């Protein structure tokens, strides 16, 4: 009953969002058509990428060519999640003053995080690709293992990003340095054409089509469940970490802000903007994520 009421309330919150009442009908129709356009592009890309690849190389194994680049694609998706995916704290906050079980709230919104656009949009590509290239050409159990593995990777990355965002509230620097270093190594691999990233991607995702594919798919799904439990545990410990705090200002930084404030109205406005940026989570995320995005960009442009 509790979960059904929460689900109903989330739906009402979505349809009653002030965003929808503040725009014209024509603009709303445009947004819907734009979303349908992107979904159609992804679906058609997944359905016809096999024909595109075979037109360039008739002997190409479409599934294995795609498997070769999945690791890089999931990495770029992972970076997008880090920048734009919010933690369930944002949705749980309005319910904290109500007499509702905190663990139940955490479990509901942690599970609801699976239906984020970063999970649904890739499936708009992978499901048509699976239907057109695996469902008919591979045994049913093998093709289902591949699809389950893809779903497991998406779910695992979803909860891994949430865990990283929760942990990085208090320890941001080590997390972002580790992520930036990993992106730099992959970009260096593409630049030097060593092929380690593609080989690792092929080894992982081609294994889903082999005899051990079901075991690997189950392992990925089990890891997703494990990180779901870890997310729930971390979320209960970090429910109030979003509150702004003055702890981020050292004596040196505060003196610098005071000097700016003494320069007149413009200086005071600059000091205020700096304070707001430091206290807000999103600017901090963008600051630490910028080196990772720059390194990942080398994958496509070098």
The tens digit of pLDDT for each residue in 266-301 reads: 888 888 887 777 777 667 666 666 666 665 555 555
Q: Most confidently modeled of 90-99, 195-204, 227-236, 250-259? A: 227-236
Whether 93 contacts 242, CB under 8 Å: yes
Res 166: pLDDT:
81
Averaged pLDDT for residues 33-60: 89
Q: Percent of the chain beyond pLDDT 70?
A: 82
Confidence (pTM): 0.76
User: Residue 243 — very low, low, confident or very high, per pLDDT cuts 50/70/90?
Assistant: very low
Rounded to the nearest integer, the mean pLDDT of the chain is 80
Res 198: pLDDT:
83
Res 246: pLDDT:
42
Q: Per the structure block, which two tokens stand in for 159?
A: 């909860």
Whether 106 contacts 92, CB under 8 Å: yes
Which has more confidence, 193 or 104?
A: 104
Averaged pLDDT for residues 17-33: 76
DSSP string, 134-193: TTTTS-HHHHHHHHHHHHHHHHHHHHHHHHHHHHHTT-HHHHHHHHHHHHHHHHHHHHHT
Q: How far is CA 27 from the centre of its chain?
A: 27
Q: E strand or H helix at 302, and its extent? A: none
pLDDT at 176 over 70: no
pLDDT at 240 over 70: no
pLDDT at 151 over 90: yes
User: Residue 181 — very low, low, confident or very high, per pLDDT cuts 50/70/90?
Assistant: confident
């Amino acid at each position: 009953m509790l979960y059904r009421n929460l689900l109903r309330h989330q739906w009402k919150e979505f349809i009653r969002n002030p965003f929808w009442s503040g725009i014209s009908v024509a603009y709303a129709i445009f947004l819907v058509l734009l979303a349908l356009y992107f979904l159609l592009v992804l679906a058609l890309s997944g359905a016809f990428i096999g024909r595109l690849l075979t037109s360039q190389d008739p002997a190409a194994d479409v599934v294995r060519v795609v498997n070769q680049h999945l690791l890089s694609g999931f990495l770029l998706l992972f970076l997008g999640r880090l920048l734009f995916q919010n933690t369930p704290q944002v949705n749980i906050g309005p319910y904290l003053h109500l007499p509702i079980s905190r663990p139940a709230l955490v479990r509901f919104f942690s599970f609801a995080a699976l239906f984020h656009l970063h999970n649904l949009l890739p499936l708009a590509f992978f499901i048509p690709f699976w239907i057109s290239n695996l469902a008919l050409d591979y045994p049913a159990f093998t093709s289902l293992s591949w699809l389950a593995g893809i779903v497991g990777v998406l779910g695992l990355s979803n909860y891994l990003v949430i865990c990283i965002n929760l942990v990085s509230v208090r320890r941001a620097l080590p997390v972002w340095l580790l992520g930036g270093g990993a992106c730099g190594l992959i970009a260096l691999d593409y630049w030097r054409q060593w092929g380690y990233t593609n080989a690792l991607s092929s080894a992982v995702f081609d294994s889903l089509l082999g005899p051990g594919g079901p075991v690997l798919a189950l392992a990925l799904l089990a890891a997703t469940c494990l990180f779901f439990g870890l997310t729930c545990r971390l979320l209960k410990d970090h429910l109030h970490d979003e509150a702004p705090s003055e702890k981020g200002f050292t004596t040196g930084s505060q003196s610098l802000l005071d000097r700016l404030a003494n320069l007149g109205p413009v200086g005071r406005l600059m000091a205020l903007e700096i304070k707001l940026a430091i206290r807000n989570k999103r600017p901090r995320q963008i600051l630490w994520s910028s080196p990772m995005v720059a390194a990942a960009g080398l994958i496509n442009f070098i």
